[in-house]
Amino acid sequence: MKQLLPRDRLANQVRQSLRESPVTALLGARQTGKTTLARMIAENHKPVHFFDLEQVAGRRALSTPELTLGECRGLVVIDEVQRMPSLFEVLRPLCDRPGRPARFLLLGSASPDLVRGVSETLAGRILFVRVNGFTLDETGPGEQNRLWLRGGFPRAFLAGKGESAWRWLDSFAATFLERDVPQLGLRVPAEALRRFWIMSAHDHGQIWNAAELARSLGVATNTARYYLDILNGAFVLRVLSPWHENLKKRQVKSPKVYVRDSGMLHYLLGISSLSALRSHPRLGASWEGFALEQTLGLLGETNAYFWSTQRGAELDLLLLSGGKRYGFEFKCADAPSMTRSIHVALSDLGLEKIFVIYPGKDRYVLHEKVIALPLKELPMLKLK
Ligand SMILES: Nc1ncnc2c1ncn2[C@@H]1O[C@H](COP(=O)(O)OP(=O)(O)O)[C@@H](O)[C@H]1O
Ligand SMILES: [Mg+2]
């Protein structure tokens, strides 16, 4: 078997969650490494029960779930749990047994919003851990350009040659559209969804305009919203919500949409090498999305927003953490400098600090509260 890249930060998060909560759910797009991570964790648990709902045998084993799961002791892993949403009802009473004879680790590749009723059913009994593609602390800082170009899906990142990574992304996209989405019980023409996905790549990092997208696709506005819900719920697009501050300024209220994985973005835009990326008009947007995903992967993605006013002041990312507000700007430049927009964001939003994340080597101070930070140093950043 090929060597696995260790994912210690994620594994520790999962272990901690298993200690604290009767149910832990690992959520992330297909192929980000959820099953592999669960197997790594399971190695140190006894007894372990594994049910893979992707397999007929796994589904059959859970045909009488109350009985089967009720008898399990130790760690119970249920893979591709979105295939059987009725399980959540069954898990509820099992979580509330005295002495907690079993812990449940659920793996899913669709968000609870897409699979109806899940979040409510297990409210207060479940913790979520996001599993995205590789982050820089896992690949090592020396692999930054490879990670940027190919993205963080393990199979694309680790592929021997650039062409193999490309072929893998191509087949991932086809399988996703033709098999995974229909399997969620969603009826959408694969070709229309593919076109929507490609258009989203062209609009990567821009304010989302449902009406305009719908017009170019020749569908109703609600259909465009539905497509967005699907791709967001399956974790291939990211919808970043706008922050609204109580100011006498008009602020943007629509979300921004990103293709989550930078390799997938490049595949959809037809960018197959670093040199093609460097001369592409979407270079800056690609960096922004890549650095954004890395930041959210490393620092957590709850309480993340962007901010933008009608008059052009902007902040790429606002993170609320420990009662404080931190700003992030993502700049694909050799030596980013202070801008008016950064000044405005600092004073309007009352930010603790702004980090300007860029591809260079050196950290330097731009202002009392503003630091230019190489992406490579992000894994060491602690917000406090
Ligand atoms: N940490 C890792 N190091 C190397 N390869 C990995 C790692 N995690 C996953 N992979 C590979 O990526 C592919 C998808 O992983 P898998 O765990 O099946 O993803 P998921 O369960 O999220 O769909 C598999 O071929 C797997 O071997
Ligand atoms: Mg899996």
- The token duo for 248 is 């006498």
Please determine, for residue 1, whether its predicted confidence score (pLDDT) is greater than 60: no
13-39, pLDDT tens digit by residue? 999 999 999 999 999 999 999 999 999
Ligand nearest to the CA of 153: 1
Residue-level pLDDT at 43: 94
Residue-level pLDDT at 116: 65
Name the more confident of 211 and 116.
Answer: 211
Residue-level pLDDT at 233: 95
Residues with CB under 5 A from ligand 2 (ion): 35
Residue-level pLDDT at 111: 86
Rounded CA separation 266/286 (Å):
8
Lowest mean pLDDT among 118-122, 124-128, 264-268: 118-122
Using the mean position of ligand 1's atoms as its centre, give its distance from the Cα of residue 37 in Å.
Answer: 8
* Ligand 1 neighbour 139 (Cβ under 6 A): no
Residue-level pLDDT at 384: 76
Residue-level pLDDT at 85: 87
Pairing verdict, β 256-259 and 206-207: antiparallel
In the chain, the DSSP E strands lie at: 23-27, 48-52, 74-79, 102-108, 126-130, 206-207, 237-242, 256-259, 304-308, 314-321, 324-330, 353-358, 364-367, 370-374
96-124, pLDDT tens digit by residue? 999 999 999 999 999 877 666 666 788 88
The answer to whether the peptide bond before residue 47 is cis (omega within 30 degrees of 0) is yes
**Protein residue with its CA nearest to atom 25 in ligand 1:** 155
Residue-level pLDDT at 114: 66
- The token duo for 135 is 């982050």
Nearest atom (ligand 1) to Cα of 80: 21
Per DSSP, the chain holds a count of helices (H) and strands (E) of: 18, 14
Residue-level pLDDT at 117: 64
347-372, pLDDT tens digit by residue? 999 999 999 999 999 999 999 999 99
Q: Is 334 exposed, middle or buried (0-12, 13-18, 19+ CB in 10 A)?
A: exposed
Q: What is the DSSP string of 160-224?
A: SSHHHHHHHHHHHHHHIIIIIHHHTT----HHHHHHHHHHHHHTTTEEP-HHHHHHHHTS-HHHH
Q: What is the dihedral of CA 115, 117, 123, 129, to 10 degrees?
A: 0
Mean per-residue pLDDT for 52-70?
A: 96
Please determine, for residue 152, whether its predicted confidence score (pLDDT) is greater than 70: yes
Hey, what domains does the chain have and what are their CATH numbers? 8-130 (3.40.50.300), 140-380 (no CATH)
287-318, pLDDT tens digit by residue? 999 999 999 999 999 999 999 998 889 999 99
Ligand nearest to the CA of 180: 1
Using the mean position of ligand 1's atoms as its centre, give its distance from the Cα of residue 155 in Å.
Answer: 7
Using the mean position of ligand 2's atoms as its centre, give its distance from the Cα of residue 331 in Å.
Answer: 34
* Ligand 1 neighbour 155 (Cβ under 6 A): yes
Using the mean position of ligand 2's atoms as its centre, give its distance from the Cα of residue 109 in Å.
Answer: 8
Ligand 1 pocket test: which of 5, 31, 80, 109 has the largest number of ligand atoms within 8 Å of its C-beta?
31
Nearest atom (ligand 1) to Cα of 138: 1
Helix (H, G, I), strand (E, B) or coil at 25: strand
Residue-level pLDDT at 113: 72
Residue-level pLDDT at 115: 67
Query: What's the whole-number average pLDDT of the chain?
Result: 95
Mean per-residue pLDDT for 46-51?
A: 96
- Percent of the chain exceeding pLDDT 90 equals 90
Please determine, for residue 227, whether its predicted confidence score (pLDDT) is greater than 90: yes
**Protein residue with its CA nearest to atom 9 in ligand 1:** 33
* Ligand 1 neighbour 9 (Cβ under 6 A): no
